[in-house]
């Protein structure tokens, strides 16, 4: 006699419909024999990557700031390309300092523009080496990292003011790791990123999330906050992608975050001729201006919409964006992480739940791994 035991349908709760939550939901649902409920407190899916067409201009707007997909992880690129057509896009950022426009990240053009020279790659390397600080062996902070690699002049012009505005702190109080994200090049390559795969989804980011979450095994509830009153007893497991400190009612104190906010403008034609222009002077209150139609050069629009981006300390009502990760934050984080270890039915992942400065590709890679290792 053959006995067939029917496996009970598992139920999972996913808190947050950003990339961390959407990947987990999509991967779990693809296994079958489970139901996944995704909740998000916002009125839409996509988390910080949400994009939508601006009603007045028809331009695709990245609601929470510009997002350029870039990765060197083949698996992540293959995964994301199942849900969208990625259009080639190279982010060529300009930066304005004391009324002049320069190329960013620092490359041979920036060096030659700034010093009024016409150096070759080898000459520029030698020149920068001659002015950089050789006493700094192991940079202990952002400022030392910058001065070691590009010398004090370029640091003061392009990083000091911008970083102070972005983080609200003196660069010497910030970890060196923040600057390590940006390359310094001794050729004319002005691509902001170094990764082999770069692009922007043809139909915007929200369409990716719609496809990922379009499964009979997934239910999505927006405008739904997960908090102490949320009944989790019927779920086999909870995947939490919200802020870790909020989950524990801030019992060890809040973790430091910067938030950004935008001032929206509309105009005819082309406002700045480029997707992103940074403003390096500390006297200019915003950090950068993004003009959204330039993120979709395959589209044509008569009108334009652009945003000035400002940065400030996160207060209770703000969206937490950038984990600051100062020593005091990391000590608090350790305490929260100890609490997480005691929770058997919860997995914490994503930018907010791990309190890590992660780009989309790393968030996706982490979420794929979480589900692969989940029994």
The residues that touch ligand FAD, with contacts defined as CB under 6 A, are: 15-21, 39-42, 47-49, 65-68, 225-226, 241-242, 260, 321, 350-352, 358-361, 363
- 10 Å Cβ neighbour count for 273? 10
Is residue 181 annotated as a catalytic residue, yes or no? yes
> Directed axis angle between helix 121-131 and helix 142-154, to 10°?
110
Is residue 250 annotated as a catalytic residue, yes or no? no
Is residue 185 annotated as a catalytic residue, yes or no? yes
Tokens of 35: 């139901």
Residues paired with residue 60 on neighbouring β-strands, in sequence order: 53
Give the distance, in angstroms, between the CA of residue 103 and the centroid of all CA atoms in the same chain. Answer: 22
Q: Which is nearer to ligand UDP, 166 or 241 (CB)?
A: 166
Residue 333: closest CA among 243, 245, 240, 241: 245
Q: How far is the CB of 142 from ligand FAD (least distance, A)?
A: 18
Q: Residues 192, 250, 252, 357: which is the catalytic one?
A: 357
Is residue 357 annotated as a catalytic residue, yes or no? yes
Q: Which is nearer to ligand UDP, 29 or 68 (CB)?
A: 68
239 within 8 A of 347, measured Cβ to Cβ? yes
Q: How far is the CB of 194 from ligand FAD (least distance, A)?
A: 13
Residue 99: closest CA among 280, 307, 309, 272: 280
- Residue 181 within binding range of ligand UDP, rule CB under 6 A: yes
Residues paired with residue 93 on neighbouring β-strands, in sequence order: 104
- Report the sign of the C-alpha dihedral through residues 134, 170, 354, 208, in that order: negative
Binding mask 100-119 for ligand UDP (x = CB under 6 A): ----x---------------
| From 42-50, 121-129, 175-183, 338-346, span contacting ligand UDP (CB under 6 A) | 175-183
Q: Which of 12, 69, 162, 239 binds ligand UDP (CB under 6 A)?
A: 162
Residue 166's binding partner among ligand FAD, ligand UDP, none (Cβ under 5 to 8 angstroms by kind) is: ligand UDP
d(CA 59, CA 68): 16
| From 154-162, 225-233, 290-298, 335-343, span contacting ligand UDP (CB under 6 A) | 154-162
Residue with tokens 């629009």: 301
- 10 Å Cβ neighbour count for 248? 14
By annotation, the residues acting in catalysis are 181, 185, 258, 288, 309, 357, 359
Residues that bind ligand UDP (CB under 6 A): 95, 104, 158-159, 162-163, 166, 178-179, 181-182, 278, 280
């Amino acid at each position: 006699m053959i006995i067939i035991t029917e496996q009970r349908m598992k139920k999972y709760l996913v808190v947050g419909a950003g990339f961390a939550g959407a990947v987990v939901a999509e991967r779990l649902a693809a296994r079958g024999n489970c139901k996944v409920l995704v909740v998000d407190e916002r009125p839409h899916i996509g988390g910080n990557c949400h994009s939508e067409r601006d009603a007045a201009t028809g331009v695709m707007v990245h609601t929470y700031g510009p997002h350029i997909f870039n990765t060197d992880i083949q698996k992540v690129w293959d995964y994301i390309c199942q849900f969208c057509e990625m259009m080639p896009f190279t982010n060529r950022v300009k930066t304005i300092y004391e009324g002049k426009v320069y190329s960013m990240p620092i490359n041979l053009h920036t060096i030659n523009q700034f010093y009024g020279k016409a150096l070759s790659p080898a000459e520029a390397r030698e020149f920068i080496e001659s002015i950089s600080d050789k006493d700094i062996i192991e940079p202990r902070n952002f400022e030392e990292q910058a001065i070691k690699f590009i010398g004090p002049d370029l640091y003061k012009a392009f990083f000091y003011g911008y970083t102070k505005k972005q983080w609200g702190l003196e660069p010497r109080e910030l970890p060196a790791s923040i600057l390590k994200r940006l390359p310094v090049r001794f050729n004319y390559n002005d691509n902001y990123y170094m990764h082999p795969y770069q692009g922007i989804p043809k139909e915007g980011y929200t369409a990716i999330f719609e496809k990922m979450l379009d499964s009979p095994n997934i239910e999505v509830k927006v405008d739904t906050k997960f908090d102490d009153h949320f009944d989790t007893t019927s779920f086999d497991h909870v995947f939490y992608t919200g802020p870790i400190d909020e989950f524990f009612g801030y019992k060890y104190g809040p973790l430091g975050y910067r938030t950004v906010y935008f001032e929206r403008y509309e105009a005819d034609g082309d406002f700045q001729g480029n997707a992103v222009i940074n403003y390096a002077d500390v006297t200019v209150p915003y950090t950068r201006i993004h003009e959204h139609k330039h993120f979709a050069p395959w589209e044509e629009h008569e009108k334009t919409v652009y945003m000035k981006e400002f940065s400030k300390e996160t207060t209770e009502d703000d969206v937490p964006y950038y984990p600051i990760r100062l020593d005091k934050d990391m000590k608090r984080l350790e305490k929260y992480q100890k609490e997480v270890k005691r929770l058997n039915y919860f997995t914490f992942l994503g930018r907010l739940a791990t309190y890590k400065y992660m780009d989309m590709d790393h968030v996706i890679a982490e979420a794929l791994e979480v589900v692969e290792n989940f029994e």
